[in-house]
C-alpha cells in the first residue's frame, strides 16, 4: 500500500519537474508542492530551522528514491541539488553513476532524520558555516580526543605539539625505516582529522 502511494507521489513529482525543464529550486519545489496540497508546510516552516530541515530531508529522501526508480526504468536522469532539481534525458552511460554517493546514502537512511534534533542540527550548521569560511570542517570533541589519543597526546595539546609529535611518529613508523604501515596510516588519519583536512 505504501509503495503504491510512493509511486503515485513520484509520478506527481515527475509531472511537476516536467513543467520546469530548466530546473526548479528546492525552495520553489516545496512551495509548489504545498500550493498543490501534496505536502503541508506550516507558516513558520521556512523560519523554523528544525521544521525546514524536516521538509528538506523528506523531499530529498523522496527525490533520491525517484532518481533510482527513473534509472531502473531507463526514463530520465534526475539532477538533485538545492538550487536546481531537474529532469534530464536518460543516458545509459549515466546509469549507476552516484549510486553509492554519500548524499544518497544519507538521505535514504531515515534514521538520520529521526536522530537529528535541534542540537545536532545546530552542530551541522556550525560545521557548514565554519567550512564555508575556512574550508575546514568542525570536528566533535570526541573525535578530536580519539585522534589525539592515537598520537599519544592529551586534550591540552597545542597545534605545534601535535605537528611535531605527528612528524616524530611518522618517521618512526614509516615502512622505509622498518615501521608499521598500518600504524602510519592511523597516525596520518589522526593528523588529517586534527588539521581539518579530513575529506
62-105: pLDDT as tens digits:
999 999 999 999 999 999 998 999 999 988 764 444 444 788 89
Task: Grade residue 10 by pLDDT with cuts at 50, 70 and 90.
Answer: very high
pLDDT of 95 reads 45
Using the predicted structure, report yes or no on whether residue 197 has a pLDDT greater than 80.
Answer: no
Most confident of 7-21, 110-124, 126-140, 175-189: 7-21
For residues 92 and 70, is the Cβ–Cβ distance under 8 A?
Answer: no
34-64: pLDDT as tens digits:
999 999 999 999 999 999 999 999 999 999 9
CATH homologous superfamily of domain 141-195? DnaJ domain (1.10.287.110)
Nearest Cα to Cα of residue 66 among 87, 93, 37:
87
pLDDT of 24 reads 96
For residues 43 and 49, is the Cβ–Cβ distance under 8 A?
Answer: no
For residues 17 and 81, is the Cβ–Cβ distance under 8 A?
Answer: no
For residues 178 and 172, is the Cβ–Cβ distance under 8 A?
Answer: no
pTM (two decimals) = 0.65
CA distance linking residue 170 with residue 154, whole number of Å: 18
pLDDT of 125 reads 81
- Report residue 86 as a C-alpha cell: 531537474
Amino acid at each position: 500500500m505504501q509503495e503504491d502511494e510512493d509511486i503515485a507521489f513520484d509520478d506527481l513529482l515527475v509531472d511537476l519537474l516536467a513543467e520546469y525543464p530548466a530546473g526548479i529550486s528546492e525552495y520553489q519545489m516545496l512551495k509548489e508542492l504545498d500550493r498543490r496540497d501534496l505536502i503541508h508546510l506550516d507558516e513558520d516552516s521556512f523560519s523554523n530551522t528544525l521544521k525546514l530541515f524536516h521538509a528538506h530531508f523528506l523531499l530529498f529522501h523522496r527525490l533520491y528514491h525517484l532518481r533510482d526508480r527513473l534509472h531502473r526504468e531507463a526514463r530520465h536522469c534526475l539532477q538533485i541539488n538545492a538550487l536546481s532539481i531537474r529532469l534530464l534525458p536518460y543516458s545509459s552511460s549515466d546509469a549507476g553513476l552516484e549510486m553509492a554517493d554519500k548524499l544518497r546514502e544519507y538521505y535514504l537512511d531515515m534514521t538520520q532524520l529521526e536522530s537529528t534534533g535541534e542540537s545536532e542540527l545546530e552542530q551541522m550548521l556550525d560545521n557548514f558555516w565554519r567550512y564555508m569560511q575556512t574550508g575546514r570542517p568542525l570536528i566533535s570533541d570526541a573525535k578530536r580526543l580519539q585522534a589525539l589519543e592515537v598520537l599519544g597526546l592529551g586534550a591540552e595539546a597545542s597545534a605545534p605539539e601535535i605537528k611535531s609529535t605527528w612528524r616524530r611518529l611518522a618517521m618512526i613508523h614509516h615502512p622505509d625505516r622498518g615501521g608499521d604501515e598500518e600504524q602510519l596510516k592511523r597516525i596520518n588519519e589522526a593528523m588529517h582529522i586534527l588539521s581539518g583536512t579530513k575529506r
